[in-house]
């Protein structure tokens, strides 16, 4: 068989395709994959690349596999360090499609959502991958599928992916009544309830001994991002009286106490390695900057309570780590990197940090309008915001990379350090 010599850019491109195919078949990508480099090297559509891959299978892909296996360009962890599963909880920042199965207005299972995602629109509220998608890639796991996509199957059998599940639900929050005006969503308590059912009724059938199950859960990675909606759709919403009933300090305490209860439940169910994200600069999202009068670039009377909550959450997580034996809670501090990217977009490869890329309802302040992909911005990943609430894949990648192996986002341990414990 004669070998075809390819330019370096095309090699990265085909390596990227190989990883996409692995994920598409439900398997994890290579531990040493170079996903971002490969994606940048591909200048035609995914469908066309798949056709091209088929055409060159016999002359290129087989010899290329040798190159791929030897390649070592990645932020990823080694196979020995990979956690057995990734379990995800939270809101639309992490939702991978649970709201598709709920009666709610808050859905993202239509274009232009998923414009840059290999599977198209899946229910992710952005143009591509989320923070937890990148973390899954970095640790060598497949994306955690939405729990509700398995719920009916689990009524009849114990079949479920042992590599993790995603329970996150858009518009919901820490408090049970947050987000209810838009329809049904899964509050954090409901998400933990579903996880409890999995741990008590479904997972034991996959392990011969209780110790094996406990070991599996203790080595798994748990990621949580929740609380933004408790401010956006509750405390800061002029249609509610929450801000009249609670001072900013009292509301932050209410949220952190409620969050602490659910995190303790996860610990009691077997979780030991947890990354819990605080709030981003929610006073800077178009939903707020367009609707409210403000003197600076952001609405500071919304950002200040977010910082207050973050400070309390960080202390709460420190306390949990010191009081719950064998636990390690890391605080995901995306606020400052998010604010810096907003104020200095060019430093993060962005050209616009004030407007939504897609055409949204209500003058750029809400979700994308279905079917208007052609009117979206030309370069989504040059935009900070995808819609009126959510970042583009570019910012998610930045946060995830820093959380995985940096020292300023996920503290005191980044994900790479956490999974090595």
Contacts from 25-30 at CB under 8 Å and sequence distance 24+?
26/142, 26/161, 27/142, 28/82, 28/136, 28/140, 28/141, 28/142, 28/163, 29/137, 29/140, 30/68, 30/69, 30/71, 30/140
List the beta strands (DSSP E) in 27-112: 86-90
Domain boundary (70, 89, 114) is at 70
Q: How many domains does the chain have?
A: 2
- Would residue 2 count as lying in a domain? no
- Give, for all 421 residues of the chain, the pLDDT tens digit: 444 444 444 455 555 555 555 544 445 454 444 444 454 444 434 434 444 444 443 333 433 333 333 333 346 665 567 999 999 999 999 999 999 999 999 999 999 999 999 999 999 999 999 999 999 999 999 999 999 999 878 777 778 899 999 999 999 999 999 998 999 999 999 999 999 999 999 999 999 999 999 999 999 999 999 999 999 999 998 889 999 999 999 999 999 999 999 999 999 999 999 999 999 999 999 999 999 999 999 999 999 999 999 999 999 999 999 999 999 999 999 999 999 999 999 999 999 999 999 999 999 999 999 988 778 899 999 999 999 999 999 999 999 999 999 999 999 999 999 999 9
Q: Could you give the residue numbers annotated as active site?
A: 92, 387, 390
- Would residue 3 count as lying in a domain? no
CATH of the domain at 221: 3.40.50.1110
Q: Are residues 227 and 330 in the same domain?
A: yes
Q: Are residues 277 and 381 in the same domain?
A: yes
- Would residue 365 count as lying in a domain? yes
Neighbours of 268 (CB within 10 A): 11
Q: Are residues 182 and 331 in the same domain?
A: yes
Q: Are residues 289 and 250 in the same domain?
A: yes
Task: Tell me the residue range of the domain where 384 lies.
Answer: 79-418
- Would residue 1 count as lying in a domain? no
- Would residue 255 count as lying in a domain? yes
Domain boundary (18, 47, 70) is at 70
In the three-class reduction of DSSP (H, G, I as helix; E, B as strand; rest coil), residue 104 is classed as strand
353, two tokens: 């940090």
Q: Are residues 57 and 92 in the same domain?
A: no
376, two tokens: 């979206």
Contacts from 311-315 at CB under 8 Å and sequence distance 24+?
312/252, 312/253, 312/255, 312/256, 313/227, 313/256, 313/259, 313/276, 313/278, 314/278
């Amino acid at each position: 068989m004669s070998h075809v010599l390819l330019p370096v850019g095309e090699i990265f491109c085909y390596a990227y395709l190989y990883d996409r195919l692995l994920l598409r078949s439900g398997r994890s990508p290579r531990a040493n994959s170079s996903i971002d480099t490969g994606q940048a090297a591909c200048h035609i559509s995914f469908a066309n690349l798949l056709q091209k891959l088929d055409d060159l299978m016999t002359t290129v892909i087989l010899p290329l596999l040798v190159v791929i296996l030897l390649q070592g360009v990645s932020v990823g962890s080694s196979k020995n360090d990979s956690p057995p599963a990734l379990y995800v909880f939270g809101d639309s920042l992490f939702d991978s499609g649970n709201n598709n199965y709920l009666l709610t207005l808050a859905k993202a299972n239509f274009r232009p959502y998923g414009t840059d995602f290999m599977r198209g629109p899946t229910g992710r509220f952005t143009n591509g991958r989320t923070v937890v998608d990148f973390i899954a890639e970095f640790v060598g796991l497949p994306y955690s599928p939405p729990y509700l996509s398995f719920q009916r199957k689990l009524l009849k059998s114990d079949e479920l992916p042992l590599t993790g599940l995603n329970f996150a639900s858009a518009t919901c929050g820490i408090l049970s009544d947050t987000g209810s005006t838009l329809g049904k969503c899964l509050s954090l308590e409901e998400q933990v309830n579903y996880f409890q059912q999995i741990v008590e009724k479904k997972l034991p059938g996959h392990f011969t001994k209780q110790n094996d199950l406990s070991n599996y859960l203790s080595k798994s990675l748990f990621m949580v991002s929740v609380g933004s909606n408790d401010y956006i759709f509750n405390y800061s919403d002029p249609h509610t009286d929450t801000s009249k009933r609670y001072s900013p300090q009292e509301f932050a305490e209410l949220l952190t106490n409620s969050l602490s209860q659910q995190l303790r439940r996860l610990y009691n169910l077997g979780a030991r390695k947890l990354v819990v994200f605080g709030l981003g600069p929610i006073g800077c999202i178009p939903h707020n900057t367009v609707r409210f009068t403000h003197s600076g670039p952001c609405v500071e009377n919304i950002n200040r309570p977010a910082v207050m909550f973050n400070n309390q959450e960080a202390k709460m997580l420190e306390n949990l780590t010191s009081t719950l034996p064998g636990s390690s809670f890391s605080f995901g501090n995306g606020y400052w990197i998010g604010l810096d990217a907003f104020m200095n977009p060019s430093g993060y490869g962005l050209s616009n940090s004030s407007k939504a890329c897609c055409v949204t309802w209500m003058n750029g302040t809400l979700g994308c309008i279905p079917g208007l992909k052609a009117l979206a911005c030309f370069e989504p990943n040059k935009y900070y915001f995808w819609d009126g609430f959510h970042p583009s894949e570019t910012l998610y990648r930045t946060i995830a990379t820093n959380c995985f192996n940096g020292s300023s986002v996920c503290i005191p341990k980044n994900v790479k350090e956490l999974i090595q414990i």
